[in-house]
Amino acid sequence: MWSGAFVCVFDMEYANILMLKRKHNKEWEDKGGWGNVGGSVEPGETPVQACIREAREETGIGLDPANLTLVHIRRVPHSEPYEYVIHFYATAIDGDTAIVLNDESSEYRWFSLDSLPDNMLDDKKEILEWRDIFASLLKKK
């Protein structure tokens, strides 16, 4: 079973999301390639640890695990061609934070949640739902 962990990186007002244009996966490129920070959970790693590692590798951003909020878990059961589970987290950073891409992405962009690109790897409706979950959980803290 494959396990993945991704993090939706919002700005501090939760109005914009950082997206990476992926280039190493043909399926992602065919879909347009805009996706969240993240990837595979390595053996012995928790999904949170994977998010932190992937964020540093893919963007140069150092995330604090205390600031990651679980917003969704997607499971594809064993009845499908292959089984996987993906944990989706959310966090907020200053929109002026320096981004340093590795070779997995060709560019990054902050997208307004009012004008998300059509060619995203994740569903627009889900992104907005995850932002709402994230914002509501933060208000409760």
SS (H, E, C) 107-138: EEEEEECCCCCCCECCCHHHHHHHHHHHHHHH
Confidence (pLDDT) at 27 = 57
pLDDT digits (tens, 9 = 90+) for 61-113: 999 999 999 999 998 876 667 788 999 999 999 999 999 999 989 899 999 99
Confidence of residue 121 (pLDDT cuts 50, 70, 90): confident
Nearest partner of 68 among 84, 55, 85, 58, judged by Cα: 55
pLDDT band at 120 (very low <50, low <70, confident <90, very high): confident
CATH number, domain containing residue 131? 3.90.79.10
Average pLDDT across the chain, whole number:
89
Other C-beta atoms lying within 10 Å of the C-beta of residue 102: 12
Q: Which tops the pLDDT comparison, 119 or 129?
A: 129
Find all residues with CB under 8 Å of 112, minimum gap 6, and list them. 15, 16
Contacts of 69 (CB under 8 A, 6+ apart): 89, 90, 91, 133, 134, 137, 138
- In angstroms, the CA 107 to CA 2 distance is 26
Which residues are the active-site residues? Answer: 107
Phi then psi for residue 108, to 5 deg, are: -130, 160
Domain carrying residue 67: 2-140
- Cα 113 from chain centre: 14
Alpha helix positions (H), 1-141: 26-30, 47-59, 124-140
Whether the per-residue pLDDT at 7 is higher than 90: the answer is: yes
Instruction: Read off the tokens for 126.
Output: 């889900």
Q: Enter the tokens of residue 25.
A: 């996966």
Domain count, the chain: 1
- Please tell me the predicted confidence (pLDDT) of residue 32: 59
Quick: pLDDT tens for 14-25. 999 999 998 865
